[in-house]
Structure 1
Amino acid sequence: MAITITEAAAKRVEAFLSNRGKGIGIRLSVRTSGCSGMAYEMEFVDELDEDDVVFEDCGVKVVIDPKSLVYLDGTEVDFAKEGLNEGFKFNNPNAKGECGCGESFTV
């Protein structure tokens, strides 16, 4: 089981954490939502929960709860700028389909 983060995404996370002034990494999770059924959620982590699974890549800790890990195992977190849009992208090998906006997925 592994979650990876690209150098571009790691730099962006480090910048956010630096500006924020605290935090040990990011939490990646999924929730039921969106037009395809599951949606990605990402937030800052200040402390770990007892059952969290922690991956470290490019100097950034990515924290995941065991329930979300089932859907996210093998995912690569990237950061991309496309024209005027910029944001985190999730390259998830478990996703069987995505909605048109890329905000939600099916497994």
Structure 2
Amino acid sequence: MPQLIQAKLADMFVEVEKGILLALHLGRLKERGAPTPAQISVGKLNSVREALDIAHQARAILAGDGITNAFPVMRHAANLESVRTYEGTDEIHQLVLGRALTGLNTS
């Protein structure tokens, strides 16, 4: 069982590190004034999706404790879900990326 938890933690860590590297790269592009809207959308969309997946994995690792107030995993997941829902993260960034990929401006 500890090996399965270690594997999940390793996967979670890889996604966090990828997100950090992406944010660093986008920050450097912004310093040069070069990021495109599509690049920013990739960063934002990926960050929310992966953070939500990591929160769900953390809840699974904690089992029953993952849904109690003792560990704030579910609070973080709920915050991420609200960002996704109320800010339209998936839909807006998918539209930006779709336009960049196809050149079609569908409204």
TM-score bracket for the superposition, by shorter chain length: under 0.3
> Rg: which structure is higher?
2
Q: Looking at secondary structure, tell me which structure has more helix per residue.
A: 2
Q: Looking at secondary structure, tell me which structure has more strand per residue.
A: 1
